[in-house]
Structure 1
Amino acid sequence: MQIYPNRFEAELDKGLKPCYLLFGDEPQQKFSMIEAVREKARAQGFTERTVLVADSGFNWSQLIEATQSLSLFASQQIIELELPTGKPGTEGSQTLQSVAANLGNDILLLIHGPRIGKDVQKAKWFKVLDDTGIHSICYALEGNNLHTWIQQTMQKAGLNGDAACVRMIADMCEGNMLAAHQEIQKLSLVYAGQAITPEQVEAAIVDQSRFNVFQLVDVMLNGDRQRCIRMLYRLESEGIEPNILIWAFIREWQTLSQLHEVRSSGQPVQWMKFGIWKNRQGCYQSALNRLSAAHLVHIREALEQADFAFKQNTVERPYIKLAHLCMLFMGIELNGLTLMPDLH
């Protein structure tokens, strides 16, 4: 039976199932569900825990042995089996089908892994285990679903924040629910049981955001060339994936294009409509003052070419290309441009 992540704990409260199948590439939801199963199992006497990883050298007889033996100090056991590829293979499939019959009051099987497709969910081993238990697939949340999750996570942490606080956390941590959870936990250490303001959220997240993509974007929008290049070098040394920066640049181009359209129409800019807080409005004003419509068209074309090249893995020196893109946002012509040696 499938249960969505946001209803998983409520389902656990109804009682433990013999088997749980938890898959997906969104780590925060998956980890939360795994922890919830562990806690519920411990509370009900599953004091022995066996952890197995079914990698390429895994001997499936270990799983069979685990289901057939208990220590002298425990009468109930939780077995955690990680499938790194999401698929157990032929031998693993047969083994899982055979152990399904041994699951019950004394043995709880928790299987987890990365994102799986319909082919896996239709496999015989998956169906056999799902018939006796529960499966849940984790996907990164977006839009209203992400806002709802943030609000619920804040409430669990003892925080009371309005929609503006939720939106700020979502904007700063979009695509990274693990980071959002960490930010909320950090806020709860200081403001537990209190109503928090957007200014408090902003201050906490900014302190956490040093040398990350968001700070780079602000520096780029402000037009600080030398600092921008130094930060790019730092991000490269930390192993930040270039595609993350490309995503951020595309998002900023979209925002700047929308703001430029509003300003060109003679209407006042409603900053909050674009999710731009007061401390960042100056960055965008600086960028808009130096970038014309022609500049924005040029940036769009460069981003499209770069995005395609990165996806095709045809960029030999990604961070040099990223530096060029930053220069375009600063309104600097690339002809004859000499970059700082840090990036070479």
Structure 2
Amino acid sequence: MQVYPSRLAQHVKQNNHSFYMIFGDEPLQKMLSIEAIRKQALQQGFDERQQLSVDNQFQWSRLIEATQTLSLFSSKQFIELELPTGKPGTEGSKTLCELAANANPDTIVLIHGQKIGRDVQNAKWFKALDKQGIYVPCYPLEGNNLHQWVAGYMNETGLKTGPESIKLLSDYCEGNLLAAKQEIDKLLLLFPNGLVTEQQIIESVVDQSRYNVFQLVDVMLSGDAVRMVKMLYRLEAEGVEPTIVCWALTREWQILNTLLADKQAGKSINWNQHRIWKNRQAFYLSAMQRMSFATLDNIQQKLQVLDQRIKQSQVMRPYVELCHLCLLFVPYDLTSIPFE
């Protein structure tokens, strides 16, 4: 039976299993899932824990011996078997099938490893253990799933904030759930009253290199191309992830597109609605005088393509193309320069 990490803690409180399989390439979910199972097992009296790791020299008889050996001080045992590749081989498959056929209520076996494919899930040993226990897939969270995790963990820690703040934090930590947890834990220390605003997240969560990304945006909006290019070089040298810069450009495109549409419709700008503080309003007014919908459409198309290719690691020098994109906000005519 498959159980997702978000529901695992509640599931193990209500159900007992002899076998647990945790596979995936998202480290935080794996760690929290293993800890949840360990905690529940300990509460049920499984206070003897053994850890085994499968490598080229591993003898599967050790696993059988572990399930049959009890100390003088415990009648229940918890065995953790690390299976890095997710493929136990012929002997291992036979051993795991035997364990599944002779499940012992006084023994829990937890098997964990990296991401597995359909071939492993269709293997005889996997299906045998799955019938007796549960499978927990731990894969990176994206989009709404990531937003829900961030919102859930903030609520669990007692922090309260708005949806825009959750989106900001999610975008900043996309692809690194551990970083999201660490930042939320830090916010709890900084704001023990539990209330956090979007501006406080910008000022507190964002580290110095990320703060420089916001500085880059202001320079870009002001139209200072020379300083903007110098800042991009600095961000690249400091190792700032290209996805962070791409996120910032996407955010500014969305704001400018909305502001320009309101201006064309004859509406006055509601700066508070867009959460643009007074010290930054001049940057947007300057950019709006230079921008057109045609330019914004061009930027949108190139942002979408570049964002996808960066996430797929298909760009050799992402900062070169990020520089081109920033220059479009100035705007510069780059029609003669190809975007891959």
TM-score range, shorter chain: 0.7 to 0.9
Decide which of 175, 199, 203 is 1:202's aligned counterpart. 199
SS in 2 for 1:34: helix
The answer as to whether partners of 2:52 and 2:82 remain within 8 angstroms in 1 is yes
CA deviation digits over 1:244-300, x for unaligned, max 9? 654654565455445433433334556787xx5334964655544433334334434
Post-superposition offset of 1:309: 6.5
One-letter amino acid matched to 2:275: W
Q: How does 1:22-61 map to 2 (within 5 A)?
A: 22-54=22-54, 57=56, 59-61=58-60
CA deviation digits over 1:55-107, x for unaligned, max 9? 5x362525444434455665443333334444444444333223334553443
Does 293-302 or 33-42 show the bigger shift?
A: 293-302
One-letter amino acid matched to 1:142: G
SS in 2 for 1:2: coil
Structure 1 residue ranges without an equivalent (≥5): 338-344
Post-superposition offset of 1:196: 0.6
What residue in structure 2 maps to residue 123 of structure 1? 123
* CA distance in structure 1 between the aligned counterparts of 2:302 and 2:151, rounded to whole angstroms: 38
SS in 1 for 2:158: coil
SS in 2 for 1:266: coil
CA deviation digits over 1:9-38, x for unaligned, max 9? 111112442122223344433332222112
The answer as to whether partners of 1:211 and 1:234 remain within 8 angstroms in 2 is no
Distance 1:54 1:234, change over 3 A: farther
Post-superposition offset of 1:131: 1.1
CA deviation digits over 1:104-151, x for unaligned, max 9? 3443222233444444333222211111111222441533x5444334
The answer as to whether partners of 1:86 and 1:115 remain within 8 angstroms in 2 is yes
Distance 1:99 1:316, change over 3 A: same
Give me the TM-score of the superposition, normalised by structure 2. 0.75
The answer as to whether partners of 1:18 and 1:133 remain within 8 angstroms in 2 is yes
What residue in structure 2 maps to residue 278 of structure 1? 276
The answer as to whether partners of 1:236 and 1:319 remain within 8 angstroms in 2 is yes
The answer as to whether partners of 1:48 and 1:77 remain within 8 angstroms in 2 is yes
What residue in structure 2 maps to residue 342 of structure 1? none
One-letter amino acid matched to 1:9: A
One-letter amino acid matched to 2:13: D
Distance 1:117 1:315, change over 3 A: closer
Aligned: 1:181 with 2:181: yes
Give me the TM-score of the superposition, normalised by structure 1. 0.74
* CA distance in structure 2 between the aligned counterparts of 1:248 and 1:95, rounded to whole angstroms: 52
The answer as to whether partners of 1:70 and 1:77 remain within 8 angstroms in 2 is yes
* CA distance in structure 2 between the aligned counterparts of 1:98 and 1:27, rounded to whole angstroms: 30
The answer as to whether partners of 1:211 and 1:235 remain within 8 angstroms in 2 is no
* CA distance in structure 2 between the aligned counterparts of 1:11 and 1:295, rounded to whole angstroms: 52
Post-superposition offset of 1:190: 3.9
* CA distance in structure 2 between the aligned counterparts of 1:217 and 1:156, rounded to whole angstroms: 30
Identity %: 44
SS in 2 for 1:45: coil
Structure 2 residue ranges without an equivalent (≥5): none
Who wins on radius of gyration, i.e. which is larger?
Answer: 2
Distance 1:310 1:15, change over 3 A: closer
* CA distance in structure 1 between the aligned counterparts of 2:316 and 2:175, rounded to whole angstroms: 26
* CA distance in structure 1 between the aligned counterparts of 2:143 and 2:309, rounded to whole angstroms: 26
* CA distance in structure 1 between the aligned counterparts of 2:316 and 2:152, rounded to whole angstroms: 44
Q: How does 1:135-214 map to 2 (within 5 A)?
A: 135-139=135-139, 140-143=141-144, 145-161=145-161, 163=163, 165-170=165-170, 172-174=172-174, 176-192=176-192, 194-198=193-197, 202-212=199-209
One-letter amino acid matched to 2:22: L
